[in-house]
Amino acid sequence: MADRSAIEWTDATWNPVRGCTKVSPGCKHCYAETFAERFRGVPGHPFEQGFDLRLVPEALELPLSWKASRRVFVNSMSDLFHEKVPAAYIRRVFEVIRQAEQHQFQILTKRSERMVEVCSAIKLPPNAWLGVSVENQKYTSRVADLRRVKASVRFLSIEPLLGPIENLRLSGIHWVIVGGESGHHARPMDPEWVRSIRDQCAQANVPFFFKQWGGTRKKLAGRVLDGRTWDEMPMEHAG
């Protein structure tokens, strides 16, 4: 948890849940798991239990102490809609979001069906952005689930992009982020896959954000695509 973040598309991170389990190929080289497991068994460390999933109720009110407005990535080290996170606890997270109206909260999940189930019983705060991760064509069904959620901003994180995604249905989607995998075992990303998604966003008039090429030396690879960076951000929409 930090009131500053190096992630290009957010300002801060907030983790009222820690730990997760893998559900699809995009999880294979999870950065959060790699980080957390380094500290397994270290007494008193936030990740003393490694990447085992656990609730962190003592962190719930942290964003209320941040006065300046910022974009907050919720559960950068977990998934709010994990099947072992009780619905009652998820509602508590959304209540904090409602109270911290000075911030915009970005909630990203691979568990789109549970997101729909839980959010159908909640009136989502206007400052809650809901998104799904989509790593290849096989998992585009998550986009259809996302459209069923009445969030002010609905967004896609296509990272790591592991294959071409054609005919991406972007109706009802307000923002798309694309990025390559990073780290020692990074899987390659074809530039044409990125260009295709960028062009689909342009055709649908959806803001496009290119996060990184990734690879084993992601800083050297940079984030320039066709001579420029792509830093488009969403406007807030109603439902």
67 belongs to a structural domain: yes
36 belongs to a structural domain: no
The pLDDT of 114-124, averaged and rounded, is 97
105 belongs to a structural domain: yes
64: its two tokens: 């209320």
CA–CA dist 107, 234 (Å, integer): 15
CA–CA dist 87, 84 (Å, integer): 9
- pLDDT given at position 238: 45
The number of folded domains in the chain is: 1
Name the residue type at position 80. L
C-alpha distance from residue 60 to each of 63, 95, 186, 200, 236 (Å) = 8, 10, 33, 38, 25
Q: Which domain, by its residues, includes 200? A: 12-16+56-221
- pLDDT given at position 153: 98
* pLDDT surpasses 80 at 212: yes
C-alpha distance from residue 40 to each of 31, 45, 51 (Å) = 15, 8, 8
β-strand pairing of 175-179 with 208-212: parallel
In the chain, what's the furthest Cα-to-Cα distance?
52
SS3 for 10-26 is CCEEECCEEECCCCCHH
- pLDDT given at position 217: 85
Q: Are 60 and 92 in contact (CB under 8 A)?
A: yes
* pLDDT surpasses 50 at 239: no
239 belongs to a structural domain: no
Q: How confident is the model at residue 3 (pLDDT cuts 50, 70, 90)?
A: low
234 belongs to a structural domain: no
Q: What is the DSSP string of 107-161?
A: EEES-HHHHHHHHTTS---TTEEEEEE--SGGGTHHHHHHHTS--SEEEEEE-S-
37 belongs to a structural domain: no
Q: For 154-180, how does the pLDDT look when each residue is reduced to its tens digit (9 = 90+)?
A: 999 999 999 999 999 999 999 999 999
C-alpha distance from residue 54 to each of 44, 82, 92, 111, 177 (Å) = 15, 11, 15, 17, 28
CA–CA dist 59, 44 (Å, integer): 15
DSSP code, position 235: P
Name the residue type at position 62. L
CA-nearest of 138, 139, 114 to 130 is 114
The pLDDT of 84-94, averaged and rounded, is 98
